[in-house]
Every structure is written in structure tokens, then in C-alpha cells.
């Protein structure tokens, strides 16, 4: 069972968390894999499903976003999702049939600096899910607390409850304030 959960709050706080478990072809399960990565400043990407597909997509995205990001540049999550959809579809199509059969899901969480939440200093958080083979972006509705999830264990209540604790910690809001200050 694997899971990746992205969540946001009305205060402009976003989080992307996952387990580290993989299921091997021989049926064994091991806790050994990181599934969430920074894609660029203030934007993260998680994957579930085929590890080979997830990393193949990540490799292309990393060279496009992380390595090529000029200092001070940020990416709008919605615009990045359109680009990611195109890249993920192409990379997924080239994977072996056995890997495509396992599937691939992506979850994007990022600060949307161009949107206004209606009060000074509040940065809206976008959460976008994309699923193989078409990877059509599906965004979470912006609400007081929004969450989307991917993976076979993503609907487990205890996991969702743990994510909510990130929004109760005093330091969580200061991270978003630092992000806003760095963007200006």
C-alpha cells in the first residue's frame, strides 16, 4: 500500500507527504523509496504507481524545472500542470507495457503567487492530481481545507488525519510567510 497526500489551508499553507513503501515484483514490501520531490521554488511533485514510470517522468521534469530555474523564478502550479501533462504523457507512452500496466499518478502542490485570496499576504495553494495515461490535471477545490491523494493507501483516514496536524503546528504558517517574502 502506498500513498501521497497533498493538502492546503485557507492560511496559504501547503504540504505534500508520502510513505516510503514499495511493493516488489516478488511480493515483498520494503520501506525504502522517497516519492515526493521539489520541482522548483515553492512547488513539489509526488508520484505513486510504477516506480520506473514515476522516476522516468521525474528525470525529465527535474532537468526542465529544478536545474533550469533561474534565481528568483517561480512557477505557477496551473501552468506547470499543463506542461507536466504533456511531458508525462509522452514519457509514460515510451515505458514498457509491464510498467504502464502498473499505472502512474502524479500530485502537484504549489504556491500560486498570481492569485489573490482577498487579504494581504495570503498565498493560495494549488493541489493538482494527474493520472496515467492522459494525465489530465484535476485541481482540488479551494476551500478552508483542501486535500487530494494518490496511491492505493491514500484513502486511509489515519493518514489524512496526520496531514491535518501540519496545519496545527505554529511553524507551518511561518514557512509560507518566508516563501511570500522570498517571492517579492
pLDDT in tens, 135-154: 999 998 766 678 888 887 65
Please tell me which residue, 44 or 67, carries the higher pLDDT value: 44
CB contact at 8 A, 145 and 7: yes
CB contact at 8 A, 35 and 21: no
pLDDT bucket at 155, cuts 50 / 70 / 90: low
C-alpha grid cell, residue 5: 497526500
Backbone angles phi, psi at 4, to 5 degrees: -135, 130
CA-wise closest residue to 5 among 142, 143, 163, 141 = 163
How far is the first Cα of the chain from the last one, in angstroms, to the nearest whole number? 41
pTM for this prediction: 0.81
pLDDT bucket at 65, cuts 50 / 70 / 90: confident
> Could you report the per-residue pLDDT of 103-128, keeping only the tens digit for each?
999 999 988 877 666 666 667 888 99
Amino acid at each position: 500500500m502506498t500513498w501521497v497526500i497533498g493538502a492546503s489551508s485557507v492560511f496559504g499553507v501547503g504540504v505534500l507527504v508520502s510513505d516510503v513503501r514499495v511493493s516488489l515484483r516478488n511480493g515483498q514490501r520494503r520501506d525504502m523509496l522517497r516519492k515526493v520531490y521539489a520541482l522548483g521554488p515553492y512547488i513539489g511533485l509526488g508520484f505513486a504507481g510504477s516506480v520506473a514510470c514515476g522516476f522516468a517522468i521525474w528525470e525529465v521534469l527535474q532537468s526542465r524545472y529544478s536545474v533550469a530555474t533561474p534565481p528568483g523564478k517561480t512557477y505557477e502550479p496551473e501552468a506547470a500542470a499543463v506542461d507536466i501533462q504533456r511531458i508525462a504523457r509522452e514519457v509514460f507512452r515510451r515505458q514498457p507495457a509491464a510498467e504502464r500496466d502498473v499505472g502512474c499518478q502524479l500530485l502537484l502542490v504549489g504556491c500560486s503567487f498570481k492569485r489573490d485570496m482577498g487579504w494581504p499576504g495570503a498565498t493560495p495553494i494549488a493541489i493538482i492530481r494527474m493520472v496515467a495515461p492522459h494525465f489530465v490535471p484535476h485541481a482540488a477545490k479551494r476551500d478552508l481545507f483542501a486535500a487530494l491523494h494518490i496511491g492505493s493507501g491514500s484513502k486511509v483516514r489515519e493518514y489524512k488525519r496526520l496531514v491535518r496536524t501540519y496545519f496545527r503546528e505554529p511553524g507551518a504558517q511561518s514557512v509560507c510567510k518566508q516563501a511570500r517574502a522570498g517571492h517579492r
